[in-house]
Amino acid sequence: GSNVTLSWVRRTRVGGELIDGTGEVPLAEDSEEYELEILDGPGGAVLRTETGITTTSFTYTSGMQSADFGGAQTELSFVVYQISAQVGRGFPSEATVEIVP
């Protein structure tokens, strides 16, 4: 069992043009915040919710995996929500990833 780093791409809700060519769009929010849900398989029940995440990545520790699943996983499903003072929780983005040791 080892830690798994999950990451995602921040989206913008205003404008959306990549004007400067960096691949970064304007935040257009008061702050950057995300919620993450760990699922029991694709489309499955929510096993864990992490709130107040302020970067586009989260470390899902081996201890968390053991608490949620009873051990390390070879595949992981999760949902990320971008939080906004104007919109709230926003639309979900779901992914299932294979974990390669």
Residues whose CB falls within 8 Å of the CB of residue 60, separated by 6 or more in sequence, listed in order: 3, 4, 5, 6, 38, 76
Fill in the amino acid letter for 34: Y
What's the N-to-C CA distance of the chain in angstroms?
9
Q: What φ, ψ does residue 63 adopt, rounded to 5°?
A: -65, -40
Residues whose CB falls within 8 Å of the CB of residue 15, separated by 6 or more in sequence, listed in order: 25, 26, 28
Helix (H, G, I), strand (E, B) or coil at 69: helix
Which pairing describes strands 75-82 and 57-60: parallel, antiparallel, or unpaired? Answer: unpaired
Least trusted range by pLDDT, from 5-9, 16-20, 65-69, 71-75: 16-20
User: What does the pLDDT look like over 34-85, one tens digit per residue?
Assistant: 999 999 999 999 999 999 999 999 999 999 999 999 998 999 999 999 988 8
